[in-house]
Amino acid sequence: MEKFTKLTGIAAPLPMVNVDTDMIIPKQFLKTIKRTGLGKNLFDEMRYDEKGNEIPDFVLNQPAYRDAEILIAGENFGCGSSREHAPWAMLDFGIRCVIAPSFADIFYNNCFKNGILPIALPQEQVDLLTEEAGKGANARLAVDLEAQTITTSEGTEIAFEIDPFRKHCLLNGLDDIALTLEKAPAIEAYETKMAVQRPWV
């Protein structure tokens, strides 16, 4: 998993409440178990019409936001079914950070496991960042995980909270597998010991 330390990038405003995982990545794209290739179908039903043509009004189809790395979203982002494909699709598109007033628990947890930083902030601060993001590509946000701050293009700084363990994992690029591998020596020692004590197992 790629480390997350600091990110300075374009923020795309998507001030919709209750954006569920089926809106993030529709069910017909869940057949794959690969984490790559899903970015083109991120928000598929909002990005494309029935003929597969881009819908110009959708934020990620607008020239200013095609390279967005930060998403400013509405309340209860990521609700609905518990599909890990949702953060996979966001990451494959290039989104590394999502800022919203609140998140669905499973989506929130899945973000951390895939190298995406979800930040929950009070509505008034999200509104400020949404307004900032509305300025387009010239307004770039700086997210500093170590300092736990978001800085706007005009220098306004907003602090955010994060669980220390999750912060440690993101800073060091540790997903569940990497965390387990950190304990490999202890696991191997235990297995060796058990092989002697219980050779029949």
Whether 181 has a pLDDT exceeding 60, the answer reads: no
Compute CA distances 6 → 2, 3, 173, whole Å: 12, 9, 13
Residue 192, in any domain of the structure: no
Could you list the residue range(s) of the whole structural domain that residue 64 is in? 6-174
**Residue where the block lists tokens 């540790």:** 174
Joined tokens for residue 167: 């912060």
| Within a domain: 124 | yes
pTM as predicted: 0.88
Tokens read off for 151:
């800085």
Q: How far apart are CA 30 and CA 121, in angstroms?
A: 30
To which residue do tokens 């609905």 refer? 80
Q: How many residues does the structure list for the chain?
A: 201
Residue 191 resides in a domain:
no
61-81 tens-digit pLDDT: 999 999 999 999 999 999 998
188, part of any domain = no
Give the pLDDT confidence score for residue 31 in this predicted structure. Answer: 80
Residue 1 is assigned to a structural domain of this protein: no
87 falls within a domain: yes
- The whole-number pLDDT of residue 199 equals 76
Count up the domains in the chain and report the number: 1
> What share of the chain has pLDDT > 90, as a percent?
76
